[in-house]
Amino acid sequence: MTIRGKICGLTDAAAVTAAVRHGASFVGLVFYPPSPRNISPEAAAALVTEVPKEIEKVGLFVDPDDALLAEVLAVVPLDWIQLHGSESPERVARIKRKFGIPVLKAIKIAEKSDMVMAKAYENIADMLLFDAKAPKTMANALPGGNGLVFDWRMMQGLEFTIPWMLAGGLNAENVTAAVTISGARIVDTSSGVEIEPGRKDPVAIAAFLAALKAIEA
């Protein structure tokens, strides 16, 4: 059983090097100015120059307009567009048609009924990502990367015709339980490998990816 890992919100060369060296399958770059992990297209392009082709590059956007997507794609060779806002199925389909790049659609989960939304994207997106929904009472909540965990048992028994990824407060200490309970085969971390918001810890990245390899053993 191979568990693939995504390290999201990368902003510096040391973190990218750690992700590549320790076996990440995906590296994520955030193009959303309110996020502490936001990065300019030019800085992102420089960061990914040393990323091998077999490691997939994901750009995270929140309700982006076409101009922003075009600006980023003009300089950053993304393999995936991650949509982490309130994009409708119709908007996801339009983005796929216009830019010709696979789309990863985030679904925010607090209770099992939230899973219903995922079905609306199943035949449109190329992959789904399940993340914890921030409570309305949470101050300065972001669309993702809040370090929150949802009940992984809600994923049990769910079947989708496209791949899916688990996110939400994952780190080296809890990812084994998350995979065991949810059945995830792809996992995503951001805040779980940070020293502070927007600043990744290469040691924590190594530990997270080592935990995934231990699950495989």
Active-site residue among 131, 151, 188, 201?
131
The secondary structure of the chain, three-state, reads CCCEEEECCCCCHHHHHHHHHCCCCEEEEECCCCCCCECCHHHHHHHHHHCCCCCEEEEEECCCCHHHHHHHHCCCCCCEEEECCCCCHHHHHHHHHHHCCCEEEEEEECCHHHHHHHHHHCCCCCEEEEEECCCCCCCCCCCCCCCCCCCHHHHCCCCCCCCEEECCCCCCCCHHHHHHHHCCCEEEECHHHEEECCEECHHHHHHHHHHHHHHHC
CA-wise closest residue to 3 among 23, 29, 28: 23
8 catalytic per annotation:
yes
Question: Which residues are identified as catalytic?
Answer: 8, 131
